[in-house]
Amino acid sequence: MITFGERFEAACGRARFPLSLGLDPRLDEIPGVIRERALEQSSNREDAIRRSIARFHKVAISAVADFVPAVKLQLGFYEQYGIAGMLALRDTIAAARRADLLVIADGKRNDIPVTAAAYARAYLGQTEAFGERLPAFEADALTVNPYLGRDSLVPFAETAREHGRGLFVLAHTSNPSAPELQDAVMGDVPIYTRVARLTAAIGDEYFPGGGFSSVGAIVGCTFPEAATAVRAALPRAPIVVVGYGAQAGTLAGCIACFTDRGEGALVNSSRTLTYGWTEEPVSEEAVAATIRARTKLVGNEVIGALGDPARAR
Protein backbone atom coordinates (compact mmCIF):
# COMPACT_ATOMS: atom_id res chain seq x y z
CA MET A 1 0.00 0.00 0.00
CA ILE A 2 1.23 3.50 -0.81
CA THR A 3 1.97 5.35 2.42
CA PHE A 4 0.74 8.79 3.42
CA GLY A 5 4.37 9.98 3.39
CA GLU A 6 4.67 8.95 -0.26
CA ARG A 7 1.37 10.58 -1.17
CA PHE A 8 2.39 13.72 0.70
CA GLU A 9 5.66 13.89 -1.21
CA ALA A 10 3.99 13.28 -4.56
CA ALA A 11 1.21 15.79 -3.93
CA CYS A 12 3.67 18.48 -2.85
CA GLY A 13 5.79 17.75 -5.92
CA ARG A 14 2.83 18.25 -8.27
CA ALA A 15 1.37 21.36 -6.65
CA ARG A 16 2.33 24.89 -7.57
CA PHE A 17 2.37 26.15 -3.98
CA PRO A 18 3.39 24.38 -0.73
CA LEU A 19 0.23 25.52 1.03
CA SER A 20 -2.68 23.91 2.74
CA LEU A 21 -6.04 25.59 2.51
CA GLY A 22 -7.51 25.91 6.00
CA LEU A 23 -11.28 25.50 6.16
CA ASP A 24 -12.61 26.64 9.55
CA PRO A 25 -16.34 27.29 9.18
CA ARG A 26 -17.77 30.44 10.72
CA LEU A 27 -21.18 31.08 9.34
CA ASP A 28 -21.10 34.84 9.86
CA GLU A 29 -17.98 35.13 7.70
CA ILE A 30 -19.29 33.08 4.80
CA PRO A 31 -20.32 35.40 1.94
CA GLY A 32 -24.01 36.32 1.86
CA VAL A 33 -24.44 35.06 -1.70
CA ILE A 34 -23.69 31.53 -0.51
CA ARG A 35 -25.70 31.68 2.71
CA GLU A 36 -28.75 33.09 0.95
CA ARG A 37 -28.75 30.38 -1.66
CA ALA A 38 -28.40 27.74 1.08
CA LEU A 39 -31.36 29.21 2.96
CA GLU A 40 -33.51 29.13 -0.18
CA GLN A 41 -32.68 25.46 -0.77
CA SER A 42 -33.19 24.34 2.82
CA SER A 43 -36.27 23.23 4.67
CA ASN A 44 -34.83 24.00 8.10
CA ARG A 45 -32.07 25.81 9.96
CA GLU A 46 -29.87 22.73 10.38
CA ASP A 47 -29.94 22.04 6.68
CA ALA A 48 -29.15 25.68 5.88
CA ILE A 49 -26.09 25.55 8.15
CA ARG A 50 -24.85 22.36 6.53
CA ARG A 51 -25.43 23.63 2.99
CA SER A 52 -23.80 27.02 3.64
CA ILE A 53 -20.62 25.46 4.95
CA ALA A 54 -20.44 22.63 2.45
CA ARG A 55 -21.10 24.91 -0.52
CA PHE A 56 -18.60 27.56 0.60
CA HIS A 57 -15.94 24.92 1.04
CA LYS A 58 -16.74 23.34 -2.31
CA VAL A 59 -16.29 26.71 -3.99
CA ALA A 60 -13.01 27.33 -2.15
CA ILE A 61 -11.71 23.85 -2.96
CA SER A 62 -12.54 24.20 -6.65
CA ALA A 63 -10.82 27.59 -6.71
CA VAL A 64 -7.44 26.26 -5.57
CA ALA A 65 -7.38 22.50 -6.24
CA ASP A 66 -4.84 22.89 -9.05
CA PHE A 67 -2.64 25.17 -6.88
CA VAL A 68 -2.31 23.43 -3.51
CA PRO A 69 -1.95 19.79 -2.39
CA ALA A 70 -4.00 19.77 0.82
CA VAL A 71 -6.82 21.12 2.92
CA LYS A 72 -6.76 21.35 6.72
CA LEU A 73 -10.12 21.19 8.46
CA GLN A 74 -10.29 22.64 11.95
CA LEU A 75 -12.70 20.22 13.65
CA GLY A 76 -13.79 22.51 16.51
CA PHE A 77 -15.38 24.89 14.04
CA TYR A 78 -17.50 22.06 12.64
CA GLU A 79 -18.40 20.63 16.06
CA GLN A 80 -19.74 24.01 17.18
CA TYR A 81 -22.61 23.54 14.69
CA GLY A 82 -23.60 20.16 16.14
CA ILE A 83 -24.90 17.46 13.79
CA ALA A 84 -25.24 19.97 10.95
CA GLY A 85 -21.57 20.81 11.36
CA MET A 86 -20.51 17.17 11.38
CA LEU A 87 -22.52 16.58 8.20
CA ALA A 88 -20.78 19.59 6.65
CA LEU A 89 -17.46 18.09 7.75
CA ARG A 90 -18.31 14.87 5.93
CA ASP A 91 -19.41 16.84 2.85
CA THR A 92 -16.20 18.90 2.88
CA ILE A 93 -14.02 15.82 3.22
CA ALA A 94 -15.83 14.24 0.26
CA ALA A 95 -15.41 17.37 -1.87
CA ALA A 96 -11.69 17.57 -1.09
CA ARG A 97 -11.20 13.88 -1.92
CA ARG A 98 -13.01 14.31 -5.24
CA ALA A 99 -10.63 17.19 -5.99
CA ASP A 100 -7.70 14.88 -5.21
CA LEU A 101 -6.50 16.97 -2.26
CA LEU A 102 -5.00 15.49 0.88
CA VAL A 103 -7.39 15.93 3.80
CA ILE A 104 -5.84 16.85 7.13
CA ALA A 105 -8.34 16.65 10.00
CA ASP A 106 -7.09 19.15 12.56
CA GLY A 107 -8.65 17.73 15.70
CA LYS A 108 -5.64 17.74 18.04
CA ARG A 109 -7.10 14.57 19.50
CA ASN A 110 -5.62 12.19 22.00
CA ASP A 111 -6.39 10.01 24.98
CA ILE A 112 -5.24 6.81 26.70
CA PRO A 113 -4.39 4.03 24.22
CA VAL A 114 -7.78 2.31 24.07
CA THR A 115 -9.50 5.62 23.31
CA ALA A 116 -6.71 6.85 21.04
CA ALA A 117 -7.44 3.75 18.97
CA ALA A 118 -11.09 4.84 18.72
CA TYR A 119 -10.04 8.32 17.51
CA ALA A 120 -7.70 6.66 15.00
CA ARG A 121 -10.55 4.53 13.66
CA ALA A 122 -12.79 7.62 13.53
CA TYR A 123 -10.50 9.69 11.30
CA LEU A 124 -7.90 7.34 9.78
CA GLY A 125 -9.39 3.88 9.77
CA GLN A 126 -12.61 1.97 9.86
CA THR A 127 -15.03 0.87 12.56
CA GLU A 128 -16.84 -2.43 12.62
CA ALA A 129 -20.56 -2.38 13.12
CA PHE A 130 -23.03 -5.16 12.42
CA GLY A 131 -20.47 -7.19 10.51
CA GLU A 132 -19.22 -4.38 8.25
CA ARG A 133 -16.15 -2.18 8.54
CA LEU A 134 -16.71 1.37 7.36
CA PRO A 135 -14.92 4.70 7.71
CA ALA A 136 -16.49 7.38 9.92
CA PHE A 137 -14.79 10.65 8.85
CA GLU A 138 -12.41 9.68 6.11
CA ALA A 139 -9.38 11.96 6.43
CA ASP A 140 -5.86 11.30 5.14
CA ALA A 141 -4.22 12.52 8.32
CA LEU A 142 -5.15 13.66 11.82
CA THR A 143 -3.40 16.12 14.13
CA VAL A 144 -2.59 14.61 17.52
CA ASN A 145 -1.67 16.05 20.93
CA PRO A 146 1.41 14.42 22.57
CA TYR A 147 0.72 15.29 26.24
CA LEU A 148 -0.14 11.67 27.09
CA GLY A 149 3.17 10.29 25.80
CA ARG A 150 4.29 7.48 23.54
CA ASP A 151 1.62 4.85 24.18
CA SER A 152 -1.09 7.35 23.22
CA LEU A 153 0.57 8.03 19.84
CA VAL A 154 1.17 4.41 18.84
CA PRO A 155 -2.49 3.54 18.04
CA PHE A 156 -2.52 6.39 15.49
CA ALA A 157 0.71 5.13 13.89
CA GLU A 158 -0.67 1.58 13.75
CA THR A 159 -3.90 2.65 12.12
CA ALA A 160 -2.04 4.98 9.75
CA ARG A 161 0.18 2.11 8.63
CA GLU A 162 -2.74 -0.23 8.13
CA HIS A 163 -4.74 2.25 6.04
CA GLY A 164 -2.09 4.34 4.28
CA ARG A 165 -2.86 7.40 6.41
CA GLY A 166 -0.78 9.80 8.47
CA LEU A 167 -0.65 11.79 11.69
CA PHE A 168 0.81 15.16 12.65
CA VAL A 169 1.97 15.48 16.23
CA LEU A 170 1.82 18.94 17.86
CA ALA A 171 5.49 19.74 18.38
CA HIS A 172 5.29 23.48 18.98
CA THR A 173 2.05 25.40 18.60
CA SER A 174 1.64 28.97 17.36
CA ASN A 175 -0.26 30.60 20.25
CA PRO A 176 1.36 33.09 22.66
CA SER A 177 1.10 30.69 25.64
CA ALA A 178 2.74 27.82 23.72
CA PRO A 179 6.12 28.19 25.49
CA GLU A 180 4.57 27.82 28.94
CA LEU A 181 4.77 24.01 28.90
CA GLN A 182 6.26 23.26 25.48
CA ASP A 183 9.50 25.17 26.15
CA ALA A 184 9.97 23.74 29.63
CA VAL A 185 13.44 22.32 29.79
CA MET A 186 13.60 18.63 30.60
CA GLY A 187 17.07 17.23 31.08
CA ASP A 188 18.93 19.47 28.68
CA VAL A 189 16.29 19.96 25.98
CA PRO A 190 12.90 21.65 25.84
CA ILE A 191 9.76 19.52 25.82
CA TYR A 192 9.13 20.35 22.16
CA THR A 193 12.47 18.79 21.18
CA ARG A 194 11.65 15.75 23.24
CA VAL A 195 8.29 15.55 21.44
CA ALA A 196 10.03 15.92 18.06
CA ARG A 197 12.43 13.07 18.93
CA LEU A 198 9.55 10.88 20.04
CA THR A 199 7.74 11.70 16.79
CA ALA A 200 10.86 10.79 14.79
CA ALA A 201 11.28 7.51 16.66
CA ILE A 202 7.68 6.45 16.04
CA GLY A 203 7.98 7.51 12.39
CA ASP A 204 11.16 5.47 11.91
CA GLU A 205 9.65 2.47 13.65
CA TYR A 206 6.36 2.38 11.77
CA PHE A 207 7.50 3.85 8.45
CA PRO A 208 11.16 2.88 7.97
CA GLY A 209 12.88 3.62 4.69
CA GLY A 210 14.18 6.52 2.71
CA GLY A 211 11.33 8.85 1.83
CA PHE A 212 9.02 10.93 3.97
CA SER A 213 7.55 9.18 6.96
CA SER A 214 3.81 9.20 7.64
CA VAL A 215 4.31 10.61 11.13
CA GLY A 216 4.61 14.36 10.78
CA ALA A 217 4.52 17.39 13.03
CA ILE A 218 2.57 20.60 13.51
CA VAL A 219 4.84 23.60 14.01
CA GLY A 220 3.94 27.24 14.64
CA CYS A 221 5.96 29.65 12.52
CA THR A 222 5.55 32.21 15.30
CA PHE A 223 8.55 30.56 17.04
CA PRO A 224 11.29 30.27 14.38
CA GLU A 225 13.92 28.94 16.77
CA ALA A 226 11.68 26.07 17.83
CA ALA A 227 10.79 25.44 14.18
CA THR A 228 14.45 25.06 13.31
CA ALA A 229 15.03 22.63 16.18
CA VAL A 230 11.98 20.55 15.32
CA ARG A 231 12.95 20.21 11.66
CA ALA A 232 16.49 19.22 12.68
CA ALA A 233 15.10 16.45 14.88
CA LEU A 234 12.67 15.33 12.17
CA PRO A 235 14.51 15.15 8.84
CA ARG A 236 11.96 12.72 7.31
CA ALA A 237 8.74 14.19 8.67
CA PRO A 238 6.04 16.07 6.79
CA ILE A 239 5.41 19.33 8.64
CA VAL A 240 2.30 21.48 8.61
CA VAL A 241 3.21 25.05 9.44
CA VAL A 242 0.56 27.00 11.33
CA GLY A 243 0.22 30.64 12.40
CA TYR A 244 1.20 32.35 9.17
CA GLY A 245 -0.99 35.32 8.36
CA ALA A 246 -3.71 36.05 10.89
CA GLN A 247 -1.46 35.01 13.79
CA ALA A 248 1.48 37.11 12.62
CA GLY A 249 3.91 34.27 12.03
CA THR A 250 6.95 35.11 9.92
CA LEU A 251 8.22 33.78 6.61
CA ALA A 252 11.47 32.90 8.40
CA GLY A 253 9.50 30.66 10.74
CA CYS A 254 7.82 29.04 7.73
CA ILE A 255 11.05 28.46 5.83
CA ALA A 256 12.66 26.86 8.89
CA CYS A 257 10.11 24.04 8.63
CA PHE A 258 11.19 22.99 5.13
CA THR A 259 14.14 20.69 4.50
CA ASP A 260 17.38 22.08 3.09
CA ARG A 261 16.04 21.12 -0.34
CA GLY A 262 12.96 23.27 0.25
CA GLU A 263 10.65 20.30 0.64
CA GLY A 264 8.54 18.50 3.20
CA ALA A 265 6.37 21.29 4.57
CA LEU A 266 3.00 22.86 3.88
CA VAL A 267 2.20 26.34 5.12
CA ASN A 268 -1.41 26.46 6.25
CA SER A 269 -3.50 29.51 5.58
CA SER A 270 -7.10 29.74 6.71
CA ARG A 271 -8.66 33.13 7.48
CA THR A 272 -6.29 35.01 5.16
CA LEU A 273 -7.59 33.03 2.20
CA THR A 274 -11.25 32.59 3.01
CA TYR A 275 -12.47 35.36 5.30
CA GLY A 276 -12.37 39.13 5.77
CA TRP A 277 -14.86 40.03 3.02
CA THR A 278 -14.90 43.79 3.31
CA GLU A 279 -16.94 43.93 0.10
CA GLU A 280 -19.67 41.32 -0.28
CA PRO A 281 -18.88 39.25 -3.38
CA VAL A 282 -21.75 39.29 -5.88
CA SER A 283 -21.46 35.68 -7.06
CA GLU A 284 -19.83 32.34 -6.31
CA GLU A 285 -17.48 33.04 -9.19
CA ALA A 286 -16.36 36.22 -7.46
CA VAL A 287 -15.80 34.30 -4.21
CA ALA A 288 -13.70 31.72 -6.05
CA ALA A 289 -11.70 34.35 -7.92
CA THR A 290 -10.81 36.18 -4.72
CA ILE A 291 -9.78 33.01 -2.87
CA ARG A 292 -7.69 32.01 -5.89
CA ALA A 293 -6.00 35.41 -6.07
CA ARG A 294 -5.26 35.41 -2.33
CA THR A 295 -3.84 31.88 -2.56
CA LYS A 296 -1.52 32.99 -5.36
CA LEU A 297 -0.37 35.92 -3.28
CA VAL A 298 0.41 33.86 -0.17
CA GLY A 299 1.84 31.03 -2.26
CA ASN A 300 4.18 33.38 -4.08
CA GLU A 301 5.36 34.83 -0.78
CA VAL A 302 6.31 31.36 0.42
CA ILE A 303 7.97 30.13 -2.78
CA GLY A 304 9.72 33.47 -3.17
CA ALA A 305 11.17 33.09 0.28
CA LEU A 306 12.06 29.45 -0.34
CA GLY A 307 13.86 30.35 -3.56
CA ASP A 308 15.78 33.08 -1.82
CA PRO A 309 16.01 32.25 1.88
CA ALA A 310 17.51 35.65 2.63
CA ARG A 311 14.23 37.27 1.57
CA ALA A 312 12.44 35.40 4.29
CA ARG A 313 14.38 37.00 7.10
Provide, rounded to whole angstroms, the least separation between the CB of residue 245 and a copy of itself.
13
Provide, rounded to whole angstroms, the least separation between the CB of residue 39 and a copy of itself.
7
Residue 92 CA to residue 103 CA, distance in Å, equals 9
Nearest to 75 by CA among 94, 58, 60, 90: 90
* Residue 259 near a copy of itself by CB under 8 A: no
- Please identify, among the stretches 63-71, 105-113, 274-282, 285-293, the one whose residues bind a copy of itself according to the rule CB under 8 A: 105-113
* Residue 136 near a copy of itself by CB under 8 A: yes
Q: Kindly report the backbone phi and psi dihedral angles of residue 168, in degrees, each rounded to the nearest multiple of 5, phi listed first.
A: -125, 115
Residues between 194 and 213 that touch a copy of itself (CB under 8 A): 194-195, 198
Provide, rounded to whole angstroms, the least separation between the CB of residue 262 and a copy of itself.
27
Report the residue from 139, 178, 219, 265 that binds a copy of itself according to the rule CB under 8 A.
Answer: 178
* Residue 286 near a copy of itself by CB under 8 A: no
* Residue 37 near a copy of itself by CB under 8 A: no
Q: How buried is residue 13: exposed, middle or buried, by Cβ count under 10 Å (0-12/13-18/19+)?
A: exposed
Residues 6 or more apart whose CB falls under 8 angstroms from that of 132 comprise none
- Please identify, among the stretches 62-70, 241-249, 258-266, 304-312, the one whose residues bind a copy of itself according to the rule CB under 8 A: 241-249
Q: How many residues bind a copy of itself (CB under 8 A)?
A: 72
Q: Kindly report the backbone phi and psi dihedral angles of residue 38, in degrees, each rounded to the nearest multiple of 5, phi listed first.
A: -65, -40
- Please identify, among the stretches 172-180, 207-215, 285-293, 301-309, the one whose residues bind a copy of itself according to the rule CB under 8 A: 172-180
Residue 157 CA to residue 207 CA, distance in Å, equals 9
Task: Provide the terminal-to-terminal Cα distance of the chain, rounded to the nearest Å.
Answer: 40
Provide, rounded to whole angstroms, the least separation between the CB of residue 19 and a copy of itself.
19
Residue 104 CA to residue 102 CA, distance in Å, equals 6
Provide, rounded to whole angstroms, the least separation between the CB of residue 56 and a copy of itself.
13
**Sign, CA torsion 200/204/207/213:** positive
CB neighbours (10 Å) of residue 86?
16
* Residue 86 near a copy of itself by CB under 8 A: yes
Provide, rounded to whole angstroms, the least separation between the CB of residue 34 and a copy of itself.
13
* Residue 51 near a copy of itself by CB under 8 A: no
Residues 6 or more apart whose CB falls under 8 angstroms from that of 236 comprise 5, 200, 203, 204, 211, 212, 213
* Residue 188 near a copy of itself by CB under 8 A: no
For strand 141-144 and strand 132-134, is the pairing parallel, antiparallel, or unpaired?
Answer: unpaired
Nearest to 23 by CA among 229, 65, 238: 65
**Sign, CA torsion 284/285/290/296:** positive
Report the residue from 62, 247, 259, 272 that binds a copy of itself according to the rule CB under 8 A.
Answer: 247
* Residue 255 near a copy of itself by CB under 8 A: no
Report the residue from 152, 193, 250, 269 that binds a copy of itself according to the rule CB under 8 A.
Answer: 152
Report the residue from 4, 119, 168, 223 that binds a copy of itself according to the rule CB under 8 A.
Answer: 119
Q: Give the x-and-dash track for 53-82 against a copy of itself (CB under 8 A).
A: ---------------------x-xx-xxxx
- What's 28's DSSP letter? G
The set of catalytic residues is: 108
